[in-house]
Amino acid sequence: MQGKTAFIVALALLATGCAGRNTHDLLNKTAVEAPASAIAATHDIFVVTTRQKATKQPRQVFDGDRSLTSNFAEVEMTVPKVHKVGAIERARGSAPSDPAKDFSASRVTLYGDAGQFQKAVGADIARRGDRVLVFVHGFNNGFDDGVYRITQIAHDTGYKGTPVLFSWASAGKITGYVYDKESANAARDDLEATLKMLARTKAKSIDIVAHSMGTWVTMEALRQLAIEGNRDLDDKLGYVVLASPDIDVDVFKKQMMRYGKPDKPFAILLSGDDRALKLSGFISGDKPRVGDYGDAADLAQYGVVVADLTNTKGADRLNHAKFADNPMLVQLLGDQLKTPAALATGAPLPGQPIEQLGNGLGQAVGSVAQIIITTPFKVLSVATGGE
Note whether residue 17 is domain-resident.
no
Q: How far is CA 149 from the centre of its chain?
A: 7
User: What pLDDT is attached to residue 286?
Assistant: 74
User: What pLDDT is attached to residue 44?
Assistant: 98
Per residue in 359-376, pLDDT (tens digit) is: 333 333 334 457 888 987
Note whether residue 117 is domain-resident.
yes
Per residue in 312-323, pLDDT (tens digit) is: 889 888 999 999
Identify the DSSP state of 289: B
Give the CATH number for residue 284.
Answer: 3.40.50
* Residue range of the domain that includes 279: 112-382
User: What pLDDT is attached to residue 139?
Assistant: 95
Q: Are 77 and 83 in contact (CB under 8 A)?
A: no
Q: How far is CA 255 from the centre of its chain?
A: 19
- 20: exposed, middle or buried (Cβ count in 10 Å: 0-12, 13-18, 19+): exposed
Q: Are 62 and 53 in contact (CB under 8 A)?
A: yes
User: E-strand spans in 99-147?
Assistant: 104-111, 131-136
Q: How many helices (H) and strands (E) does the chain have?
A: 12, 11
Show the CA angle centred on residue 120, arms to residues 107 and 63, nearest 5°.
50
Note whether residue 135 is domain-resident.
yes
Which residue, among 18, 19, 86, has the nearest Cα to 276 in the 3D structure?
18
User: What pLDDT is attached to residue 341?
Assistant: 84
Q: Are 241 and 323 in contact (CB under 8 A)?
A: yes
Q: What is the mean pLDDT of each run of 10 residues along the chain (387 residues)?
A: 46 44 86 96 98 96 98 98 97 92 97 97 96 97 98 97 98 92 98 98 97 98 98 96 97 98 94 90 83 95 94 89 91 87 58 39 44 80 44
Note whether residue 367 is domain-resident.
yes
Note whether residue 33 is domain-resident.
no
Mark 242-274 as b/e (b = at least 16 C-beta within 10 Å). Answer: bbbbbbbbeebbebbeebeebebbbbbbbbebb
Identify the DSSP state of 194: H
Note whether residue 74 is domain-resident.
no
Note whether residue 44 is domain-resident.
no
Q: Are 271 and 344 in contact (CB under 8 A)?
A: no
Q: What is the distance between the alpha carbons of residues 359 and 196, in angstroms, rounded to a whole number?
A: 40
User: What pLDDT is attached to residue 279?
Assistant: 85
Mark 349-367 as b/e (b = at least 16 C-beta within 10 Å). Answer: bbbbebeebbebbbebbee
pTM of the model: 0.90
User: What pLDDT is attached to residue 367?
Assistant: 40
The DSSP bridge pattern shows strands 379-382 and 371-374 to be antiparallel
User: What pLDDT is attached to residue 382?
Assistant: 56
How many domains does the chain divide into? 1
Contacts of 299 (CB under 8 A, 6+ apart): 249, 252, 268, 290, 293, 306, 374
Note whether residue 141 is domain-resident.
yes
Q: What is the distance between the alpha carbons of residues 196 and 204, in angstroms, rounded to a whole number?
A: 13
- The length of the chain, given as a count of residues: 387
